[in-house]
Amino acid sequence: MSDTRPFSHIAFCGTVTDCLPDDGFRSLAEQLSGAGQAGPSPSLVVALASELLGQDRLRLPNWVDTDTRYLVVLDVPEQAVLRLASTLRLHKPDQRLQVCRDPSVVKRLVIALKRPAAWEGILDAYVLKDSLVVVLGDMSVWKFPVGRLPKVRRFEPAVVSRFVIDSPGSYLHWPDRDVHMGPSQMLQAVDPMHLADVEIRRYEMENVSRALRDMRHERQLKQTEIPGLSERHVRRLEKEEVRLTVEAANKFADAFELTLSEFLDELSERISALREDGIT
């Protein structure tokens, strides 16, 4: 499979690596820096606030543009941080800038970027009104209504905010109630289709097409017999001309008399078998 790193370029600037606990993590950060792949994905700059605001202001890499995202560790007076958006010339800073006080977020980011999928790691989290806001390892920001999170929704308001982030960023932990919750559980609770889409995008297009065709043939269904999908669309899916989406996967699952989860499990098993047989 291709590299699933979510950023085309990554820069851990200047002294930010001092936030990492030991030489092992610093070495990992060095491996990640500038090691991204070319392509349309956004870029990421990780820096201390003082590096961006001080007199000896950091010179940003030449690949920084309007799609660049920033993760900044707060080490200057709070008033100075208000200048970050203008200093970085951000027109929509809420979409591309994350400021945190916890230096451990740098370690969690390094670990997240070495995971099979960066979104499986948690960088930062806080409670905002009646929602739990979580920043995942791909710098996506999710707002989870507390009332929709299993177990947590039963907590008193004072308890909800008393969580800690696991050292590697794998889950949130509420010590008072000994409850753990990771990104997958939170996403599944509020947006199960997101996880299905993540799973589908992991597959190589070629193998998906072959597996879909085999699954349809075994059920003795014609291309015209997938309710909700035109014959032309089914044909294009099976000829690798378009990618499978969650919506289309749901149509196939219904036609095959499977739940979406069962459909994805079978699709995954067939794709694994094709890889083992060397069929692409």
The 10s digit of each residue's pLDDT in 14-69 is: 788 888 887 778 888 888 886 555 556 788 999 999 989 887 788 888 888 888 89
pLDDT at 93: 64
Longest CA pairwise span in the chain (Å): 71
pLDDT tens for 91-126 read: 766 668 899 999 999 999 999 999 888 989 999 999
Q: Is the pLDDT score of 73 beyond 60?
A: yes
Q: Which CATH number fits domain 196-276: 3.90.79.10, 1.10.260.40, 3.90.920.10, 3.40.50.12780?
A: 1.10.260.40
d(CA 71, CA 245): 31
Q: Is the pLDDT score of 1 beyond 50?
A: no
Q: How many residues does the chain have?
A: 280
C-alpha distances in Å from residue 89, one per residue of 69, 141, 216: 12, 21, 52
Residue 231, SS3 per DSSP: helix
- The alpha-carbon radius of gyration of the chain (Å, integer) is 22
pLDDT tens for 178-235 read: 999 999 889 888 877 777 777 777 777 778 889 999 999 999 999 999 999 999 999 9
d(CA 204, CA 240): 10
Strands 97-100 and 179-181: unpaired
pTM of the model: 0.73
For 241-263, give one letter per residue: b (16+ CB within 10 A) or e: eeebebebbbbbbebbebebeeb
As a whole number, the mean pLDDT across the chain is 86
pLDDT tens for 161-179 read: 999 999 999 999 999 999 9
pLDDT at 134: 96
**Once rounded to an integer, what is the mean pLDDT over residues 239-256?**
89
**Once rounded to an integer, what is the mean pLDDT over residues 237-257?**
89
pLDDT at 200: 76
> Under a CB-based contact definition with an 8 Å cutoff, are residues 44 and 139 in contact?
yes
**Percentage with pLDDT > 70 across the chain:** 92
Superfamily assignment of 118-190 in CATH?
Uncharacterised protein PF10387, DUF2442 (3.30.2020.40)
pLDDT at 198: 72
Q: Is the pLDDT score of 4 beyond 70?
A: no
> Domain ranges in the chain?
10-113, 118-190, 196-276
d(CA 225, CA 215): 13
